[in-house]
Amino acid sequence: MDESSRQNQYAKRCSVFAHRGANREAMENTRHAFDKALDYAIDGIETDVQMSRDEVAVLWHDRYLDKIGLPGKRIDDFDFYELQKLINPDSASEGIMMLQDFVMSYRNRCHLLIEVKNRDWEAIARHQLKIRRTLDLIGDNPQLRIVISSFNLTSLDYAHQYNAIFPLIFNFETHQTLADARQLLHSHPYLYGLCLPIETADHAIVDLLHSHHKCVAVYTCNTDLEINKALRLGVDILISDLPQRALMLRDQ
């Protein structure tokens, strides 16, 4: 098999995930955005989990509510019923969504990549509660259709201890390197894979992970250059704000 045929074979195996749904056409992380993404026959959806003040797992990317005209206000300043009144209360498809509803609505329609947003500004107890809520809502049989990711390695350690059957992906930052990946393969063999920034992903790290039978995801591929780079690298999951474009480039 020549190199061109090999790269084409890799590209066909690559799954395209809509980043927070079709977020260029509808409000991100909402039912409308997810349904629009499914119109394009995408392989999966990537979404983000935060927690309201009263400890309801909700889909929201940022800690702050600037996107709805509330600068300085945080997602965890409000109980869930208050967030329902604040975030598009007149739109059933673009209001804030509970993780429970998302999992029930989409787990049988496509693959799901759920990023748990555990950052340093939250207490460890809330980190752990968010992990437990997420895993409990998914249940005991994800069958690789639902994968959990986080930038917080300690949270993934906790998730593995809480329920070892779940596939867990660690999200890399742009400063992390091939050496970091090697170290993780040694220190955290339970990891299902890594999610890499497309800017720093290269053949060395992708080949290393594949040689250890790990999943390779990349974020966030929006330009033709980024999408084609991901396809040439032979990644397993390509995350994009433009899933329809990624699908077209993959399938042509």
C-alpha 44/C-alpha 208 separation (Å) is 24
**pLDDT computed for residue 8 by the predictor:** 56
| Segments in the chain forming alpha helices (H) | 3-13, 31-38, 80-86, 99-106, 124-138, 153-162, 178-187, 203-211, 224-233, 243-251
**Beta carbons of 114 and 47 less than 8 angstroms apart:** yes
Per-residue pLDDT of the chain (252 residues; tens, 9 = 90+): 555 555 555 566 899 999 999 999 999 999 999 999 999 999 999 999 999 999 999 999 999 999 888 888 999 999 999 999 999 888 888 999 999 999 999 999 999 999 999 988 889 999 999 999 999 999 877 677 999 999 999 999 999 999 999 999 999 999 999 999 999 999 999 999 999 999 999 999 999 999 999 999 999 999 999 999 999 999 999 999 999 999 999 998
Give phi and psi for 112, each to the nearest 5: -125, 135
Overall fold of domain 3-52+102-251: TIM Barrel (3.20.20)
Cβ–Cβ under 8 Å, residues 94 and 21: no
pLDDT of residue 4: 53
Within 10 A of 103 (CB to CB), how many other CB atoms are there? 20
Q: Map residue 154 onto helix, strand or coil.
A: helix
Q: What is the pTM of this model?
A: 0.94
Beta bridge partners of 51: 57
Residue 127 has a CB neighbour count (10 Å cut-off) of: 21
Distance CA 241, CA 33 (A): 11
Count of other CB atoms within 10 angstroms of residue 233: 23
Listed by start position, the domains of the chain span 3-52+102-251
Q: Say how far residue 51 (Cα) sits from the centre of its chain.
A: 16
